[in-house]
Amino acid sequence: MKNFLSLCIFIFAVAGGFVYLGNSIPQIKQGATGPVTITLTVEGLTEAGKSIFERENSCLTCHSLGEDPKARCPNMIGVGERASQRKPGMSAAEYFMESVYSPDAFVVEGYPKGQMKPVNRPPASLNDDEIVAVTAYLYSLGGNFDQDAIQKLATAQEKYKKFVPTIEVAEAEFLMPEAYPEDGFDVFNEMKCWQCHKAPGFEDKEPEKSAPDLHGVAAMQDAEYFYDSIVFPNKVIVKGEGYVGEDGRSIMPEFHDSLTLRQLYSLIAFLQTLK
């Protein structure tokens, strides 16, 4: 009887250990395809990170894997090697974490400030586990990514997981009033925005000037960004051939005098649907 009880205790202990181990493995959501289970290994993290980076309406909306003159943000091929050389005294892991949580802290030369949003906030809204996976994948693109690098990423992430900024005067929140995308579609057409921009629903139009392609733009930008782009087009100038004039300013005119508020917010509502 004593041996039987000992055997039962042993079986329960082993089963409990497996349950604990199973629950400790992080889950990373991958869009509509459901959760992806990963392990804290080099292969597990980079595979999950690659899936997040390349999935629809994600990082490839703006970044590229290889030279692409139409890309809004830097080419990521070889970034694992470049990361440790970007900022003096900052390791590759520290650079990656700063870049995703606080992208304006260092902006690659030739690209505008304010273009990339912190990826833990809307519209990207990646959680901390997803961010570790994505940065692991970026680390592997030309860098020496190993088990030690995983620990470095986790250590570098800690201050961003716990950091709460203290702001004496909070910035005014951008409030988007109720507006209708279908009305914004009409505004886009009436203002002939398609003369410069490519956008869903206007595939039959051929742009006459060079301006950013708007397919998928809402996946990485918010309503405030669209407001600034329409009213203050020189605030953030996307990198691209033909986007600026000889004076170095955006070729896009300022529309604050030519749109009513209703038209402006309707247009923003339309742009927010471009995911």
Backbone angles phi, psi at 244, to 5 degrees: -125, 155
Mean pLDDT of 137-163: 89
225-260 as b/e: b if 16+ CB within 10 A:
bbbbbbeebeebbbbeeebbeeeeebebeebeeebe
Tally the domains of the chain.
2
- The structure tokens listed for 201 are 């629903």
The predicted-structure confidence for 203-213, as pLDDT tens digits, reads as follows 998 888 888 89
Mean pLDDT of 3-12: 43
Domain shared by 120 and 50, yes or no: yes
- CB of 23 within 8 A of CB of 14? no
Domain shared by 111 and 154, yes or no: yes
- The structure tokens listed for 133 are 């996976």
Domain shared by 141 and 57, yes or no: yes
In a domain, 5, yes or no: no
Domain shared by 142 and 248, yes or no: no
In a domain, 120, yes or no: yes
- Provide the 8-state DSSP code for 47: H
Rounded Cα distance, 129 and 189, in Å = 41
pLDDT at res. 113: 86
Of 162, 195, 226, the residue that ends a domain is 162
pLDDT at res. 33: 39
Ranges assigned E (strand) in 126-179: none
pLDDT at res. 143: 85
Q: Which residues pair with 27 in a beta bridge?
A: 37
Rounded Cα distance, 215 and 122, in Å = 18
Domain shared by 30 and 109, yes or no: yes
In a domain, 186, yes or no: yes
In a domain, 231, yes or no: yes
- The structure tokens listed for 260 are 């009513």
Domain shared by 131 and 91, yes or no: yes
Cis peptide before 123 (omega within 30 of 0): yes
In a domain, 8, yes or no: no
Say which residue the tokens 């030279």 belong to: 67
Say which residue the tokens 């082993």 belong to: 14
Of 128, 162, 196, the residue that ends a domain is 162
1-to-57, 168, 217, 271 alpha-carbon distances in Å = 62, 69, 69, 73
Q: Is the pLDDT of residue 92 over 90?
A: yes
Q: What's the predicted TM-score (pTM) here?
A: 0.58
Domain shared by 28 and 78, yes or no: yes
Rounded Cα distance, 206 and 186, in Å = 17
86-to-74, 103, 172, 183 alpha-carbon distances in Å = 13, 13, 33, 45
The predicted-structure confidence for 41-76, as pLDDT tens digits, reads as follows 888 889 999 999 988 667 888 899 998 877 888 999
In a domain, 14, yes or no: no
Domain shared by 110 and 235, yes or no: no
Of 114, 132, 162, the residue that ends a domain is 162
Write the CATH number for 149: 1.10.760.10
Q: Is the pLDDT of residue 112 over 60?
A: yes
In a domain, 196, yes or no: yes
Min mean pLDDT across 46-60, 154-168, 188-202 is at 154-168
Domain shared by 148 and 218, yes or no: no
Backbone angles phi, psi at 11, to 5 degrees: -65, -45
- The structure tokens listed for 115 are 């273009």
**Which domain range does residue 193 map to?**
181-271
Residue 250, classed as helix, strand or coil, is: strand
pLDDT at res. 57: 67
In a domain, 171, yes or no: no
Domain shared by 142 and 202, yes or no: no
Domain shared by 243 and 206, yes or no: yes
